[in-house]
Structure formats: structure tokens, C-alpha cells
Amino acid sequence: MTEVAAPRRGRITPEREAEVYSAVLDVLREVGYDGLTMDGVAARTHSSKATLYRQWGGKAELVVRAMRHTKPGSSADVDTGSLRGDFHALLSRGDESAMEQTSSLMRGLAMAMHHNPDLMRVFREQLVEPEMDDCRRVAQRAVDRGEVRADNPALDYVAHMLIGALVARTVIDNRPPTRAFFRSYLDAVVLPVLGV
């Protein structure tokens, strides 16, 4: 696994960092990844472009860190005593509108990644790989508790199933992902295939 580098913080406060991330996501919603520029973010956040580059290194890292900032925390600290409880507890974090907005931004970034190797690299390092690690930890706890057999072949595909559901909800149903959808999907698909 690739080590995730911390942002190059100077004197920026956590509050200021959150303001920048919020502005970046607003610009991303308005113009998409290709239309987002460091000049535009600097103007929106009343920052210098040099400060943005010093703190984040470039557009790809700034955008991905802004996306990561919206996540309600790591799943590593969720342990309810059951796999179903863990999944449902994770779904309860954050709010419904944030889930819809994140899903929309992720779809836009997925398209941009096909044409931007730097974005793909940073996205994988800072979002995909940590999510995969978190899924493995949650699944491993279920194996350790005896809920899931260690040789269950579906264990390698938990993240794939969850991401697939996120994409499929929009593409197939033309509806945003919701907690209710994910709960029913977990209970009908993910948990049964894991033998829970």
C-alpha cells in the first residue's frame, strides 16, 4: 500500500483548511474537474495561488483532499460487535444530502480520472486505498468473531459490491443513493453473500 502524505501545512488553521475545501467542492460542482483552476480557487478563497500550491502541491491533491475531508471518519473505529451492526453504523454517519452530493462529485471525478493520470494516482492513494483498507478491517473483524468464514471468496469483493451499489443506484434506477437503499442492499446482497 502506498503511504498517504500529509498536506504540507504551514500556518493554515483547521478552520481555514475547511473553508478552502468547501470552496473547492463548490467550484467543482459548478465547473467540474477540468474547469477548476488553482487561479479560480485562489480567487474564491481569497488566497494566493502560491499558498495553495505550497499547502497542497497541485489541483489533483487539493480536490481529493477536499473530497476526503467530507468523509465522516474512518470505519476502523466502528465496532458494534456484528458485521451487520458495523455496516449500519457506518451508514448512519453523515447526512443524506451529503451522500447524494458526494456521489455526484465522485461520478464527475471518475470521468476526469480517465484523462488525468495524476488525479487517478492521488484518488487511489488518498481515497480508494484507505477505503479498501477500512473494508478489509471491518470484514476481518467479522472473520475473527466467527461471523464470516475466512475462506469465503466474497471477502475480496466487499468494497466492489459497495461501490457498485453506489454507481448502480444512479445508472440503473436514476435515483440518488440513500441510507434506506444501502441498508436494504446490505441486508439483501452483501450480508447473505458473506454468509451472515
Tens-digit pLDDT profile for residues 7-30: 444 578 889 999 999 999 989 888
End-to-end, the C-alpha distance of the chain in Å comes to 29
Q: What is the C-alpha to C-alpha distance for residues 134 and 1, in angstroms, rounded to an integer?
A: 13
| pTM of the full structure | 0.76
- Fold (CATH) for 1-70: Arc Repressor Mutant, subunit A (1.10.10)
Every domain of the chain with CATH number 1.10.357.10 lies at: 72-196
Banded model confidence at residue 90, pLDDT cuts 50, 70, 90: confident
Banded model confidence at residue 185, pLDDT cuts 50, 70, 90: very high
Which residue has better confidence, 163 or 39?
A: 39
Cell numbers representing residue 17 in the block: 483548511
Every domain of the chain with CATH number 1.10.10.60 lies at: 1-70
Q: Which of 55, 64, 66 is nearest to 18 (CA)?
A: 66
Residue appearing with cell numbers 471525478: 109
Given a cut of 80, is residue 72 above it in pLDDT?
no
Given a cut of 60, is residue 4 above it in pLDDT?
no
Lowest average pLDDT, out of 146-150, 172-176, 190-194, goes to 172-176
The CATH class of 72-196 is mainly alpha
Q: What is the C-alpha to C-alpha distance for residues 21 and 44, in angstroms, rounded to an integer?
A: 11
Lowest average pLDDT, out of 1-10, 84-93, 144-153, 158-167, goes to 1-10
Instruction: Name every residue whose Cβ is closer than 8 Å to that of residue 12 and which is 6 or more positions away in sequence.
Output: 20, 51, 55
